[in-house]
Amino acid sequence: MSNKVKAHIATLIANFFFGSCIVAVKHLTQVVMQPLALNFLRLSCALILFWLLFLIKPSNASIKKKHIFLFILCGITGVAINQVLFIKGASLTSPVHTSLLALVTPIVLTIIAVLFLGEKLLWNILIGLLLGISGAVILIVLKNNNGNRDSSILGDFYVILNATSYAIYLAIVKPLMDSYKPIHVTRWVFLFASIIVLPIAWNDFTLIKWQLFDWTHWLSLIVVVLGATFIAYLFIVYGIAKLGASVVGAYVYTQPVFATITAVILYNEKLSNIKLIAAVFIFGGVYLVNYKKKLPASEEREFIK
């Protein structure tokens, strides 16, 4: 098997974890733990694993003083706010809603680029923004008619804020990605985020109902903590190294597919016409705002999930 085939498989597995993680979060936060408790477990375990990886393969772990504030800001937007709102939102709304609204990230990133980074508002970008926003509005406003009682406007709002926070992170992380390796950035971003989140989440962590755990809860916890945080990130980095950012980035479209299949099989979620229409709008919007010429090889390494 060639390295490229392995990279495609690794990238697909990573996105499977990202998609199925949504259903796992929903399952865990219904009875056995609060969202902040799951944030505590996800952040602390991932932080330990990323730094254990450093001990196994030592390298320069320092960061420059001029980058400390930016690392903290990336920790806040890329992990602290992002993950807290994602898990809170996923616990309150349906898995399909979460997976589709999470695709708002590239749309928000495009808005930031147009408003603050001087990117031209081309026809495909404008139409893509209108489609993506329309899809999100359809999904939220018409939720009461889609046959799913698990969907929540508040949960949808949290997911959109999560996507917005992650888009801001992607917009500001570039200088760090230019100066350090992706895994190096991740270690420090998780460290600063943990300093912020872990004290806040500690009380909810102590209230986890371990006695109620069955094998499905343990499996869900493994998917969230190990699969969708540690393994998925390493597989994404491997995919970027072998395939390039543009190819790996295209796999984001598989996440709602995996989330939907998992939700239908394990969570009995129903696919309504409203959800399908909203999905077409959002997918079309994301495709159009990202419809650009292939990035030069020197720029592809800037992508990070």
pLDDT at residue 305, as a whole number:
36
Q: Please enumerate in sequence order all residues whose Cβ is within 8 A of that of 214, keeping only pairs 6 or more positions apart, or say none.
A: none
Distances (CA, A) of 37 to 69, 77, 129, 205, 237: 27, 19, 35, 4, 28
User: Is the distance from CB of 23 to CB of 266 less than 8 angstroms?
Assistant: yes
pLDDT at residue 249, as a whole number:
67
Q: What whole-number distance in Å separates Cα of residue 81 and Cα of residue 89?
A: 12
Residue 166 burial (CB count, 10 A): 25
pLDDT at residue 200, as a whole number:
94
Q: Please enumerate in sequence order all residues whose Cβ is within 8 A of that of 250, keeping only pairs 6 or more positions apart, or say none.
A: none
* Chain center to CA of 122: 27
**Backbone CA torsion sign across 39, 41, 46, 48:** positive
Q: What whole-number distance in Å separates Cα of residue 194 and Cα of residue 75?
A: 8
pLDDT at residue 292, as a whole number:
59
DSSP 225: I
Q: What is the pLDDT of residues 58-70, one digit of tens each?
A: 777 789 999 999 9
pLDDT at residue 154, as a whole number:
85
Q: Kindly list the averaged pLDDT for each block of 10 residues, start to end, along the chain of length 305.
A: 86 89 91 94 91 82 90 92 91 83 78 76 79 77 55 83 86 83 87 94 95 94 91 82 70 80 78 78 77 45 37
What would the DSSP string read from start to end of 92-150? HS-HHHHHHHTTHHHHHHHHHHHHHS-----HHHHHHHHHHHHHHHHHHHTGGGTT-TT
pLDDT at residue 99, as a whole number:
81
Query: Is the pTM of the predicted complex or chain greater than 0.85?
Result: no
Tokens, residue 165: 């926070």
